[in-house]
Structure 1
Amino acid sequence: MSIFTQMTKQQRIGLLFVILILFIDMLLYSLLIPIVPYFTEKLQPSSTMMGVLFSSYAIAMLIATPIFGPISDRMGRRTMLLIGLLGLAASTLLFAFSETMGLLITARFVQGIAAAATWPTALALLADLFPSKMRGTVMGIALTAISTGTLLGAPIGGWLFEISDHRMPFLAAAAFTVINIVLVYLFLKEDATKTVSEKLHVGGFIRNPQVIFIAGIVLLAEISLCLLEPTLPVFFTEKLSMTPTTIGLLFGVMTLAYGMIAPVAGSLSGRMNPYKLMFGGIMTLAVFLPFLAWADSLWQAMLAMALIGASIGFTLSPTLGTLGAIIDQGGSGAYGTAYSLFNMFHGIGMVAGPLAGGILTDLLPVSSALLIVAASILGFGILLFVQLKASKSTSLSIKESEMKF
């Protein structure tokens, strides 16, 4: 834990607020899960409406992220974080008092917009505060906050629901968010020299071979993660007669492994080639994914889920610090725009993953679908790495030619 002793007071405060903000965002995201049966029984929504409810978060995030990231580069991180937290508080209160599916969907949509403001801005704040050599580790810590919020949201929501009513989880979360708003307003300070950044040329940034590689890796990892959510519960219920509690435990094991490995991978990315780490992580994911199809007991399923969670955490953690390093090379300081692109690919994965999982499992058994997904990850991962290597070789050849000329 020597990294904490190297931090300044401003860096510690900034990291603490980023952890709190990302934690509360994902806590709110998963808080709804145990309360879904209540709304299903009370409102009698169709399957399509339930699908709209859960997809509205990612759709809103996709729409709003390209807007908020660049704005945070111009307005400053503190202001954008306050706007995002206010949006989270408003969406949570709307959840508490929603009596129709229309209001629930609106609340989920507002939550996605708020996440589009907080996610890239929080990551950009870390990039502002920490030098490149420390960035990988602190980004890994930020991912751990995300996984912890995801892990605790459902059980906390279920417990508060059981001891009170369906409004209590949302009211408690709203109160926590308001406290967070007050703390950010009072104690989060920004370096005034870093609140104004040069405009990032997004077109050129997206065409950067390194960014293309990172985007592809993020998409593969997020799609793989999100397609498991709608497919595995039915698969394990039919194959191993698992209860909903046991299935929740399995996803908790995966999330825990993700959160534990993320800081390790982030730290390694500061000392090793981060692109090789990402490639190694995605290849490991491809190898371990079929283990789910072959699991014949609860313990085998838990081991497979832990390995998959660790693989995804190992894959994604180096992407954040590396994106910041690419911005550093350009000298723009437009971290908000860069991390808004990360958030967009994350959102695309959240939409495409369940869709891909649904289509595949409609056509094939889940075990066959998992094997196809694993083979696809393997193929596309290798293709991305070859493309990255080829682009570096081409760039080196051009530089050598210019030197000879």
Structure 2
Amino acid sequence: MAVFTQMTKAQRTGLLFVILILFIDMLLYSLLIPIVPYFSETLKPSSTMMGILFSSYAVAMLLATPIFGPISDRLGRRAVLLVGLIGLAASTLLFAFSDTMALLITARFVQGIAAAATWPTALALLADLFPPKMRGAVMGTALTAISTGTLLGAPIGGWLFEISDHRMPFLAAAAFTVINIVLVFLFLKEEAARTASEKLAVGGFLRNPQVVFIAGIVLLAEVSLCLLEPTLPVFLTQKFSITPTAIGLLFAAMTLAYGLIAPVAGSLSNRFNPYKLMFAGIVLLAVFMPSLVWAGSLWQAGIAMALVGAGVGFTLSPTLPTLGSIIDQGGSGAYGTAYALFNMFHGIGMVAGPLAGGILTDLLPVSSAILVVAAAVLGFGIMLFLQLKASGAVRVSSSKGEMHSS
């Protein structure tokens, strides 16, 4: 894309480091998945303890994100990124040498705190480096790095586990993270000194109709995605009698489609009304979700998974540059605080999705629960868009991709 040929050396370096940081973050997040059976067999945890293990990441991220976003606005992106990467390395080493569930949960909690430092700060760094007309494409690329890390974490972890032992995936990931720390320390240049103007009135920001709409869209997309992770494998296994490897490939198709569509949707948000793109993504997601239930064969299920992943990617990608543009409207450079709020919406979805899925599948068959969720996503998406239109808070020039207050 033309936008990448227009980058300065500083912009290319910053984007490269953001890609590496977000990639390693999500690689570490999914690295645990293939090693769970080993811990289940050796430590004999209850289902409740396993639930706490997986939810502790999102809980820690929710608690720590409001702290790190504003800190990066005041102290600078480089320092907070280094703190987050050091936390990721420490949590990964703790995973490698954990021999109790308490230590595993602690490691996952520390990992969530580290992600609270890296995610919003990395996105804020992109907003610092790139003008609004370039942010859509680069933010979409950042989302692709996230999906790639998620996609590769489980198979890499499983392969390293098989050729060695349960510690090897974590030790290898820790080594990769340490290399990343050294590179950031040596080559990522600190931006100009922070200014007093880089503050955000969080209360007013959250009352902004545009931000309310984005928050609602992020929650709908994340809840839908995270709801499928614990419920869909059981449904597909029962329907098609498939192996865990096949389940993994189906989810890989969803993640791959997400990663491929994200930069496309990000680029489109520079040319068209991003709010209409987000709404279109939610409508597509709601339309595609029932195909998961109606798929009559394995290849149809794979196509359905890819369509759902593409729907989520198309929905979420325009939210990132649009949040940056809202900050620009206010004349503030407090991108760290803004993307910390995005991270919080993301974390709430990670917690609420599996919880909603568990409640619904206790009351309904999985197929019915997915149809109910699709209808709810469509209904709430329409309601959010109508509220945004009624507020008259924004209009977008599609020729320039610039937002203006009415």
- Normalising by structure 1, we get a TM-score of 0.96
> Which consecutive residues of structure 2, in runs of 5 or more, have no partner in the other structure?
396-405
When residues 39 and 349 of structure 1 are mapped into structure 2, their CA distance, relative to the original with a 3 A threshold, is same
Q: Counterparts of 2:92 and 2:49 in 1: how far apart (Å)? A: 20
Equivalent in the alignment of 2:399:
none
Quick check: 2:258–2:309 contact (8 Å CA) kept in 1?
Answer: yes
Equivalent in the alignment of 1:82:
82
- Structure 2 residue matching 1:290: 3-state secondary structure: helix
Equivalent in the alignment of 2:129:
129
Equivalent in the alignment of 2:34:
34
Are 2:56 and 1:53 equivalent residues in the alignment?
Answer: no
- Structure 2 residue matching 1:104: 3-state secondary structure: helix
Letter in 2 for 1:334: A
Letter in 1 for 2:319: T
Letter in 2 for 1:178: V
Equivalent in the alignment of 1:118:
118
Matches within 5 A, 1:188-203: 188-194=188-194, 197-203=197-203
Q: Counterparts of 2:393 and 2:201 in 1: how far apart (Å)? A: 24
Are 2:184 and 1:184 equivalent residues in the alignment?
Answer: yes
Quick check: 1:73–1:197 contact (8 Å CA) kept in 2?
Answer: no
Which range is displaced more, 62-71 or 194-203?
Answer: 194-203
Letter in 2 for 1:134: M
When residues 201 and 336 of structure 1 are mapped into structure 2, their CA distance, relative to the original with a 3 A threshold, is same
> Which consecutive residues of structure 1, in runs of 5 or more, have no partner in the other structure?
396-402
Q: Counterparts of 1:158 and 1:32 in 2: how far apart (Å)? A: 9
Equivalent in the alignment of 1:94:
94
After superposition, what is the alpha-carbon deviation per residue over 1:342-391, rounded to whole angstroms, capped at 9, x for unaligned? 00000000000000011101110111101100100010000000000000
After superposition, what is the alpha-carbon deviation per residue over 1:23-69, rounded to whole angstroms, capped at 9, x for unaligned? 00000000000000000000000000000000000000000000100
Matches within 5 A, 1:295-314: 295-314=295-314
Equivalent in the alignment of 1:279:
279
Quick check: 1:128–1:194 contact (8 Å CA) kept in 2?
Answer: no
Once the two structures are TM-superposed, the CA of residue 255 in structure 1 deviates from its matched residue by: 0.1
Are 2:322 and 1:322 equivalent residues in the alignment?
Answer: yes
Letter in 2 for 1:314: F
Quick check: 2:76–2:191 contact (8 Å CA) kept in 1?
Answer: no
Cα-Cα RMSD: 1.3
Q: Counterparts of 2:22 and 2:381 in 1: how far apart (Å)? A: 28
When residues 243 and 196 of structure 1 are mapped into structure 2, their CA distance, relative to the original with a 3 A threshold, is farther
Equivalent in the alignment of 2:158:
158
After superposition, what is the alpha-carbon deviation per residue over 1:286-323, rounded to whole angstroms, capped at 9, x for unaligned? 00100111111101100100000000000000000000
Runs of 4+ in 1 over 3 A off after TM superposition: 193-197
Once the two structures are TM-superposed, the CA of residue 199 in structure 1 deviates from its matched residue by: 1.4
Q: Counterparts of 1:86 and 1:31 in 2: how far apart (Å)? A: 18
Once the two structures are TM-superposed, the CA of residue 219 in structure 1 deviates from its matched residue by: 0.1
- Structure 1 residue matching 2:318: 3-state secondary structure: helix
Matches within 5 A, 1:6-405: 6-194=6-194, 197-392=197-392
After superposition, what is the alpha-carbon deviation per residue over 1:59-90, rounded to whole angstroms, capped at 9, x for unaligned? 00000000100000001000000000000000
Once the two structures are TM-superposed, the CA of residue 3 in structure 1 deviates from its matched residue by: 1.6
When residues 199 and 266 of structure 1 are mapped into structure 2, their CA distance, relative to the original with a 3 A threshold, is same
Quick check: 2:53–2:105 contact (8 Å CA) kept in 1?
Answer: yes
Quick check: 1:200–1:332 contact (8 Å CA) kept in 2?
Answer: yes
Quick check: 1:73–1:196 contact (8 Å CA) kept in 2?
Answer: no
Once the two structures are TM-superposed, the CA of residue 2 in structure 1 deviates from its matched residue by: 2.0
Q: Counterparts of 1:152 and 1:200 in 2: how far apart (Å)? A: 36
After superposition, what is the alpha-carbon deviation per residue over 1:176-211, rounded to whole angstroms, capped at 9, x for unaligned? 000000000000012214576521000000000000
When residues 196 and 84 of structure 1 are mapped into structure 2, their CA distance, relative to the original with a 3 A threshold, is farther
When residues 184 and 367 of structure 1 are mapped into structure 2, their CA distance, relative to the original with a 3 A threshold, is same
Equivalent in the alignment of 2:398:
none
Quick check: 1:61–1:112 contact (8 Å CA) kept in 2?
Answer: yes
Report the count of equivalent residues: 396
- Structure 1 residue matching 2:99: 3-state secondary structure: coil
Q: Counterparts of 1:13 and 1:198 in 2: how far apart (Å)? A: 23
Q: Counterparts of 1:270 and 1:195 in 2: how far apart (Å)? A: 28
Letter in 2 for 1:302: G
When residues 365 and 78 of structure 1 are mapped into structure 2, their CA distance, relative to the original with a 3 A threshold, is same
After superposition, what is the alpha-carbon deviation per residue over 1:96-134, rounded to whole angstroms, capped at 9, x for unaligned? 000000000000000000000000000000000000000
Quick check: 2:266–2:317 contact (8 Å CA) kept in 1?
Answer: yes
After superposition, what is the alpha-carbon deviation per residue over 1:237-266, rounded to whole angstroms, capped at 9, x for unaligned? 111111100000000000000000000000
Quick check: 2:209–2:393 contact (8 Å CA) kept in 1?
Answer: no
Equivalent in the alignment of 1:399:
none
Equivalent pairs: percent with the same residue? 84
Quick check: 2:210–2:393 contact (8 Å CA) kept in 1?
Answer: no
Q: Counterparts of 1:186 and 1:394 in 2: how far apart (Å)? A: 42
When residues 35 and 393 of structure 1 are mapped into structure 2, their CA distance, relative to the original with a 3 A threshold, is closer
